[in-house]
Structure 1
Amino acid sequence: MRQRTDEPARAQGPDVHGVPVSSDGRLWAEHRGAGSPVVLLHGAGMDARLWDHVVPELALHHSVVRFDARGLGRSTSPEAPFDDVEDLLAVLDHFGLDQAALVGLSMGGETALDFTLAHPGRVTALVLVAASVSGHDWPRDPDSAAYSAARRDRDAARLAELELSIWAPLGDTAPGGELIRSMIEDNAQRRIVSEGHFADLDRDAAAVLEQVSAATLVIHGDHDHPEIAVIADRLVADIPDARRELVSGADHYLPLRTPARLTELLLAHLVHLAPSRRRQQPTPGPTRRVRPRTDSDLDECVRVLAAVHARDGYPMNWPDSPGDWLTPPSLFGAWVVEVDGRIVGHIGLSHGAADDAAAALWSRREGESSAAAAVVNRLFVAPTARGQGIGALLMDHVTRAARERDLHPVLDVVASDTSAAALYERLGWELLATVEQRWDPGQTVTVRCYAAAPATAAGVDAAAAAAGESRPGLPGSS
């Protein structure tokens, strides 16, 4: 069911869901109320109880969704790299929300902002409450050093103590104090585990804030950490037409310290969105096209590859002849992605052989010849084109190309490239094994070997759907 963003409000009770996400994870989520959709995101080390005193009034006017982030609250713990932006997309899709207003606190605000930049057509309004921002350089001070030490030492008790002293300085006797302490202590150990599985996507919203098109409200408390005010200054200065509200008597936990005032600000911001703005069609995105690579493309492909290597270290060993590296002897197909006529991504397919780790593993498991496999390789996406679904688009295209030749796609990826592994697993690829490869006499590398899911109708439909979404395109398969 698709929910209209301008549906009239009516009373509705809470409805609890389990939202499926990558790697067989599941997010606890609650839907309440009706009307234009609003999705609430809590911060690091918290859970959806943060919004307990905001939801009842907000749901009288809007369709409200809140959820526990991966590994926190009632959601499952991650066992593989994951991306909070992808999880938020899964929540919107699960509830059939073509568009929604996003309200995020702290790290939840960072996720909401990153999502808005990646999926501008799906966000009707943005509220950043005591928000952090990807790409912001936090100062090194004793508090941050102690925080880092507690995380490194996996000291949950110390991490909870620091969270309460630094971020909730108004203490237990201030409004919401008991629930704040309960949330922090309940989630401290789970937070350490969860943060160890964050996909390394190196986002930098701070550098592109002028691209935010959603109506934005920035809110922070007068007793919050001083750096939150610095970030608020930056948000208001760089996001077009952003407004700012300073809330008295609140530290970092505004929804529990001053719920009435925060709810008042949220309702006013959503009410004053012009109806025409809420119903407008998303701005058309850039034109993307996958096509076969030609000889004349090689120089541009090498230029993009050099930018990827400088940023991500892929390929791990820069080749003496990059053009030859992009065209190994076993290659039988290569494709590029153009965005508005500019090459931003590349992928190749090679014949499988017994000395290809992934092809050999798949061959032994299936009782097939290694020649029946097609090895996906030379996948990379320009750093400037990340977040547009380029990686998923290329993977879908090359998977179909292999199957048209009655070949089964396989690949291997350096184990340290957790972002690429997260992409493959989200697309349904199966981990065959993790093995050691000797790349030269002095270099042994750990790689993860994958095979594409069987070519069922459901699997093909899922891959096609993933390729059509704005997903991060990452360096990956060798």
Structure 2
Amino acid sequence: MILSHDVAGTGPTVLLLHSTVCDRRMWDPQVPVLAEAGYRVVRCDLRGFGQTPVPDGPYGNAQDVVDLLDLLGAERAALVGSSGGGRIALEIAARWPDRVVSLALLCTALAGHEPSAELRAFGEREDALIEAGDIAGATELNVATWLGPEADEATREHVSRMQRHAFEVQLAAVEEFPSLKPEFDLSAVTAPTLLVSGAHDLPDFRQIAAHLSDRLSTTRHLELAWAGHLPSLERPDAVNPVLVGFLSETFPAG
């Protein structure tokens, strides 16, 4: 199955991978800016998000994304990942290092990370609300948890719509299939990497950024004092120049 996606602009390929709180619409503020900077901008919906249906069997997110790159004829690309999308980007960069020119990871998750008490408490509260049938409450919990103080009301409503849609699509599935979890070694990542974290985010994601700074060979870590977990939505005016600058250095549009 090919992931639902759209393409804007021409030039070197930049692939945007959304947070699992959102779908590909989270990149609305970045697409025109990156296209104007000279890139072919691809964004996709992972399985069970946005316009991509839920899995119909065991699946691998990273393989899905590589299949999409193959379809688009993109032998090499820069990957920009937010949260869960960052975790997928890291897997791709480790398993197919020759295909990933640069990585920008915004408040990235990490396979195998041991969640903090705060993150576990969030997950338990979310599960309880969903089991009680309170999808509105679970959606509100996610918006309150993942957006920092700089997010305006329109952004909060936007995230709420994306998260509510994901819940509705996934909960309507007749059967739940597992995501395959192949082993990979982070030391195989060769792409220069930008790590962005937010001071108002849960501590897990700042810890992950610090850990990756030690594990990956070429990294730059930027902590944003104003940011929560979704800085590209909270203040695109501040994040867009950072992304364009990093891509211009590591994957010039020419």
**Shared fold per TM-score greater than 0.5:** yes
Structure 1 residue 192 displacement after superposition: 4.5
Verify: 1:126 aligned to 2:103, yes or no: yes
Note if 1:44 corresponds to 2:20.
Answer: yes
Where do residues 442-457 of structure 1 align in structure 2 (5 Å cutoff)?
none
Alignment partner for residue 199 of structure 2, among 183, 197, 222?
222
TM-score calculated relative to the size of structure 2: 0.88
For the 8 Å contact 2:191–2:218, the answer to whether it is kept is: no
| Equivalent pair of 2:151/2:235 in contact (CA under 8 Å) | no
Residue 176 of structure 1: SS of its match in structure 2?
helix
Alignment of 1:263 with 2:254, yes or no, is: no
* Matches of 1:197 and 1:274, distance apart in 2: 36
Instruction: Write the letter of the residue equivalent to 1:188.
Output: F
Superimposed CA distance per residue, residues 408-434 of structure 1 (whole angstroms, 9 cap, x where no aligned partner): xxxxxxxxxxxxxxxxxxxxxxxxxxx
RMSD between aligned alpha carbons?
Answer: 2.4
CA gap of 1:158–1:174, structure 2 versus 1, over 3 A, is closer
Query: 1:185 is aligned with what amino acid?
Result: R
Relative contact order higher in (CA < 8 Å, ≥ 6 apart): 2
Correspondence for 2:3: 27
Cα distance in 1, alignment partners of residues 116 and 78 from structure 2 = 31
Match of 1:69 among 33, 46, 51: 46
Structure 1 Cα separation of the partners of residues 171 and 212 of structure 2: 28
Residue matched to 2:80: 103
* 1:250 alignment partner, SS class: coil
Q: Is 2:179 aligned against 1:199?
A: yes
Mapped partners of 1:134, 1:252: distance in 2: 17
Count the aligned residue pairs: 249
1:108 is displaced (CA, Å) by 0.3
Note if contact 2:23-2:50 (Cα within 8 Å) is conserved in structure 1. Answer: yes
Aligned pair partner of 1:168 in 147, 161, 183? 147
Task: Say if 1:34 and 1:274 are closer, same or farther in 2 by CA, change over 3 A.
Answer: closer
Q: CA, structure 1 residues 171+267, in 2 after alignment: closer, same or farther (shift >3 Å)?
A: closer
Following TM superposition, by how much is the alpha carbon of 1:161 offset from its aligned partner in structure 2, in angstroms? 2.4
Question: Residue 164 of structure 2 corresponds to which residue in structure 1?
Answer: 185
Contact 1:45/1:72 (<8 A) preserved: no
Shift of 1:106: 0.5
Gaps of 5+ in 1: 1-20, 279-478
Q: Say whether the 8 Å CA contact 1:40–1:65 is kept in structure 2.
A: yes
Counterpart residue number, 1:243: 220
Residue type of the alignment partner of 1:133: L
1:367-399 CA-to-partner distances (Å, cap 9, x unmatched) read: xxxxxxxxxxxxxxxxxxxxxxxxxxxxxxxxx
Unaligned runs of 5+ in 2: none
CA distance in 2, matches of 1:148, 1:243: 35
Residues 8 and 40, structure 2, Cα contact 8 Å, conserved in 1: yes
Q: Tell me the CA shift for residue 152 of structure 1.
A: 5.9
**Change over 3 Å in CA distance of 1:164–1:274 after alignment to 2:** closer
Residue aligning to 2:136: 157
- Report the AA paired with residue 179 of structure 2: A
Q: Which has the higher helix share?
A: 2
